[in-house]
Amino acid sequence: MEEKRNGLRVILFPLPLQGCINPMIQLANILHSRGFSITVIHTRFNAPKASSHPLFTFLQISDGLSETQTKDDVMSLLAQININAESPFRDCLRELLLESKESERVSCLIDDCGWLFTQTVAESLNLPRLVLCTFKATFFNAYPSLPLIRTKGYLPVSDSEAEDSVPEFPPLQKRDLSKVFGEFGEKLDPFLHAVVETTMSSSGLIFMSCEELEKDSLTIANEIFEVPIFAIGPFHSYFSASSSSLFTQDETCIPWLGNQKDKSVIYVSLGSVVNITETEFLEIACGLSNSKQSFLWVVRPGSVLGAKWIEPLSEGLVRSLEEKGKIVKWAPQQEVLAHRAIGGFLTHNGWNSTLESICEGVPMICLPGGWDQMLNSRFVSDIWKVGIHLEGRIEQKEIEKAVRMLMEENEGEKIRERMKVLKDEVEKSVKLGGSSFQSIETLANHILLL
């Protein structure tokens, strides 16, 4: 049944990355269910599939990227589209506002914190802008202080200090810092500064998070950015991320899982951006094979550097992997994690994947690749204690040990029990009367009054 419309239209503009498109489309669904009409402006690169969302209007703008251009380096990609998309976006938004009818006013723009020009464009057109942050609030709160932390001299880290927490950024450890900053160094500073400035000028900040996961960080976010904060919960609890998948999902995963015992399968996926070397890939393969546990492994084509897909595996290794496992190019992750057969998740701890795992009560093995994943994984292993951290050791023995520990041993059972408690708490937050549920109401009212 069509929900009652409230005569207001919200314009959404996701960054063209899987981990940013999923939450934005989920947010679109949440707002649509509260009566708002939805228009999604998107780049040509990684365009969401309009036909999967017949209730929304989709408008494509030029991003100036060529078909052949490599898009692997996310920071360069973001820098380039932030330049290329500004003018087409401005034209598109202006046109939309001109066309906006008395009967259906455009109330605001909601876009990703990674767009740097949208605040200025929105202001010039007199349109309020809200920011969607797809990171954990604790990580976003560190944006203003990251340049300072970089110059504090923690790097390079000596062995004796590796496990010390970063005083300005707990529970991050000093050994995590090099992977937070990557090779960008001071080149990041203008980007971070722009994100902070444009967020502070916005009309509100939306987190896919909840008080049960980070109450203090949400309070701090309010103090830092000085705008209304809306922590409206893990979006996955309301709408599945599957409909906005940019890759074809291998649906054979589900019947395959149907043939496995309860909680017997470890799901392995490093998300849509992380790449690994061939050596690391082979270490993971041998670790999984030697663990003798069943597994479902997503190997995204192109994610093993120098290979198209899984050709670095020898025939013998493929045979031994096939005895207990299944390798696919892309999975319907949320459905997989919700399956009774899944007992663990070896993950890169992207914020979406981490939340999806918590919402389904699946304990994790943490193998973060960089940036916010370093912090998310510390929360999983050190604060919530619902996972085992590999500490970057992509070695077959370590992987075998962690998989066995999680799936077979007492320690794994304790982790699973703690995960159940965390899942239940988060679940409460999205139910009637819960903190996220209430925050959605507050957000909807905020937009109505803009």
Q: Which amino acid is at 141?
A: N
353 binds ligand UDP (CB under 6 A): yes
37 binds ligand UDP (CB under 6 A): no
Residue 370 phi/psi, 5-degree rounding, is 165, -175
Nearer to ligand UDP, 272 or 377 (CB): 272
Nearer to ligand UDP, 289 or 352 (CB): 352
Stretch that binds ligand UDP, among 39-47, 168-176, 267-275, 406-414 (CB under 6 A): 267-275
46 binds ligand UDP (CB under 6 A): no
Q: Which long-range contacts (CB under 8 A, 24 or more apart) does 145-148 make?
A: 145/169, 146/180, 146/181, 146/188, 146/192, 147/186, 147/188, 147/189, 147/192, 147/193
Nearer to ligand UDP, 244 or 294 (CB): 244
298 binds ligand UDP (CB under 6 A): yes
With CA atoms as reference, report the closest residue to 149 among 172, 129, 123, 183: 172
Q: Which amino acid is at 235?
A: F
Nearer to ligand UDP, 273 or 386 (CB): 273
Stretch that binds ligand UDP, among 13-21, 142-150, 286-294, 441-449 (CB under 6 A): 13-21
Query: CA-CA distance, 95 to 12, in Å (whole number)?
Result: 15
DSSP, residue by residue, 410-440: HHHHHHHHHHHHHHHHHHHHHSTTSHHHHHH
Binding mask 356-395 for ligand UDP (x = CB under 6 A): x---------------------------------------
29 binds ligand UDP (CB under 6 A): no
| Structure tokens given for 23 | 């939450």
Q: How far is CA 261 from the centre of its chain?
A: 29
Interface residue with ligand UDP among 10, 11, 16, 19 (CB under 6 A) is 19
Interface residue with ligand UDP among 350, 363, 412, 434 (CB under 6 A) is 350
Shortest Å, Cβ 363 to ligand UDP: 16
Q: What residues between 268 and 287 interact with ligand UDP by CB under 6 A? A: 269, 271-273
333 binds ligand UDP (CB under 6 A): yes
Shortest Å, Cβ 164 to ligand UDP: 27
Interface residue with ligand UDP among 45, 143, 154, 351 (CB under 6 A) is 351
With CA atoms as reference, report the closest residue to 271 among 21, 448, 68: 21
Size of the site for ligand UDP (CB under 6 A): 20
Nearer to ligand UDP, 93 or 253 (CB): 253
Query: CA-CA distance, 274 to 276, in Å (whole number)?
Result: 7
Shortest Å, Cβ 152 to ligand UDP: 27
Integer angstrom CA distances of residue 121 from 85, 89, 111, 280, 337: 12, 8, 12, 44, 40
140 binds ligand UDP (CB under 6 A): no
Interface residue with ligand UDP among 181, 330, 379, 437 (CB under 6 A) is 330
Cα separation of the two ends of the chain: 28
Shortest Å, Cβ 337 to ligand UDP: 8
Q: Which long-range contacts (CB under 8 A, 24 or more apart) does 276-282 make?
A: 276/303, 276/304, 276/305, 276/394, 277/304, 277/305, 277/306, 278/304, 278/305, 278/306, 278/307, 278/312, 280/394, 281/307, 281/312, 282/312, 282/313, 282/317
Nearer to ligand UDP, 8 or 298 (CB): 298
Nearer to ligand UDP, 37 or 134 (CB): 134
| Structure tokens given for 80 | 């380039």
Stretch that binds ligand UDP, among 39-47, 60-68, 143-151, 351-359 (CB under 6 A): 351-359
Q: What residues between 221 and 250 interact with ligand UDP by CB under 6 A? A: 241, 245
Report H helices in 259-350. 278-291, 315-324, 333-338
Mark 124-135 as b/e (b = at least 16 C-beta within 10 Å). ebebbbbbbbbb
Nearer to ligand UDP, 22 or 289 (CB): 22
- What residues line the site for ligand UDP (CB under 6 A)? 17-19, 22, 241, 245, 269, 271-273, 298, 330-331, 333-334, 350-353, 356
